[in-house]
Amino acid sequence: METYKIKDIGLAENGKKKIAWAESRMPVLMHLRKKFEKEKPLKGARIAGCLHVTKETAVLVKTLSAAGAEISWSGCNPLSTQDDVAAALAAEGLSIYAWHGQSVEDFYWCIDKTLEFRPTLTLDDGADLIFRVHSKQPALAPDILGGTEETTTGVHRLRAMAEAGKLLYPVMAVNDAETKWDFDNVYGTGQSSIDGIVRATSILLAGKNFVVAGYGHCGKGCAMRARGMGARVIVTEVDPIAALKATLEGFEVMPMDRASKIGDIFITATGVKDVIVERHFKEMKDGAVVCNTGHYDCELNLNDLYGLSTSVTEIRPNNEACVLKDGRRIYLLAKGRLVNLAAAEGHPSEVMDMSFANQFLAMLYMMKNGKNLGKTVHTVSKEQDREIASVKLETMGFTIDTLTAAQIAYINDYAAGT
């Protein structure tokens, strides 16, 4: 019986080349693969994973498998699967259910397929898989030692579930590791979102008004990189502290009601719905480009945009021209889904190296300790963070200083002053 459903197994050769390229740029994860492939600490684990099927994720999947785990995988977004990578994983005998451009029904069908082997661990990006277990198949929960969560939005969902007393097993918030959010969310999102915008439009960024909605870590990355390309960056926020940070970084801050009139390119990175709605679309300039890099596709209100449009035409991959009644055109990228994963390839391998090293170590931790943990959201240890940072630095060829005994004594000596 086939243990996969993908677009085309014939794409496997290309996928293998992409995965090999990612492997050459993910030294921390490869170090962990080497370290654990003999010992096989995940032997006996059945891991259901739901995370973008990219070349980087493939390196994680192969590492989990090398450490002894049985795997069943689905993508966590209907538009992010790289079909050649999915084919390469299937060709290696791994169980995978994912293809690019699937419907929402197919998306959940794929998740359900991965649950058929009764997982003992779950790995999420956005919490759709774990939520599926809780809402549709709670009978699976007693056999599940623990789960992990990759992204900010998923961690928010899980914390809300835990607070409501609804979480049936412990989860590790991989996103909250410093070697994840302070790198992946900032530099990863910054580069890959610009990459997605450029691939979908080939637009010149220099001199454009580039509006970033949300100045969290992802928004900060987008703003920083857009400025680097010569754009004039405008930030919109609801949080005074985040807004203040943006102004002191030199970005202009204003409400979306004003930004909507002057922006050339808009990107949402808030994790909240209805950030750009009808009244904003109505004010936009002819030729404005709108996209989203938040986990879910609710930040741009597409019902509003399509409702205002007299025609919608895909003019190039991931770029739809929405023509309004008065002839103005608004260009919607990647149907409002994560522009970096749908229109480009997601974050670069080098940064996913740290995120996925955290995922891998969190899986080992859950396998070993899950049954003794409270049914709540846990964070990775400082030791894990430091170990990943140390190995990453070492593989990049950097060395750092060490505190002397006298310096340590000084730090701990509260009496030492002027």
Full DSSP string of 72-83: EEE-SSTTT--H
The CB-of-57 to ligand RBV minimum distance in angstroms stands at: 5
Rounded to whole angstroms, the Cα distance separating 227 from 365 reads 40
Stretch that binds ligand RBV, among 131-139, 199-207, 281-289, 346-354 (CB under 6 A): 346-354
- Residue with smallest beta-carbon separation from ligand RBV: 346
Residues in contact with ligand RBV, total (CB under 6 A)? 16
Query: Is residue 347 at the binding interface for ligand RBV, with CB under 6 A as the rule?
Result: yes
Minimum CB distance to ligand RBV smaller for 193 or for 260:
193
Nearer to ligand RBV, 113 or 347 (CB): 347
What are the tokens at 347?
């974050």
Show contacts with ligand RBV in window 72-101 (CB under 6 A): none
By the rule CB under 6 A, 150 interacts with ligand RBV: yes
What SS3 state is found at 215? coil
Task: Look at strands 319-324 and 329-333 and give their pairing.
Answer: antiparallel
119-138 residues near ligand RBV, rule: CB under 6 A: 125-126
Nearer to ligand RBV, 60 or 140 (CB): 60
DSSP 139: G
Question: Using CA atoms, how far apart are residues 284 and 291, in angstroms rounded to an integer?
Answer: 14
Are 115 and 133 a contacting pair, CB within 8 Å?
A: yes
Are 91 and 30 in contact by the 8 Å Cβ rule? The answer is no
* Segment contacting ligand RBV by CB under 6 A, of 67-75, 237-245, 327-335, 341-349: 341-349
Measured between alpha carbons, how far is 108 from 187 in angstroms, rounded to an integer? 31
Which of 388, 359, 380, 370 shows the shortest CA–CA distance to 71?
359
Closer residue to ligand RBV (CB): 176 or 394: 176
Binders of ligand RBV among residues 278 to 307 (CB under 6 A) are 295
Question: What DSSP string runs through 5-43?
Answer: E-S-GGGHHHHHHHHHHHHTT-HHHHHHHHHHTTT-TTT
* Chain residues 167-206 in contact with ligand RBV, contact rule CB under 6 A: 184, 188
If binding is defined by CB under 6 A, does position 56 make contact with ligand RBV? yes
Interface residues with ligand RBV (CB under 6 A) are: 52, 54, 56-57, 125-126, 150-151, 184, 188, 295, 341, 346-347, 352, 355
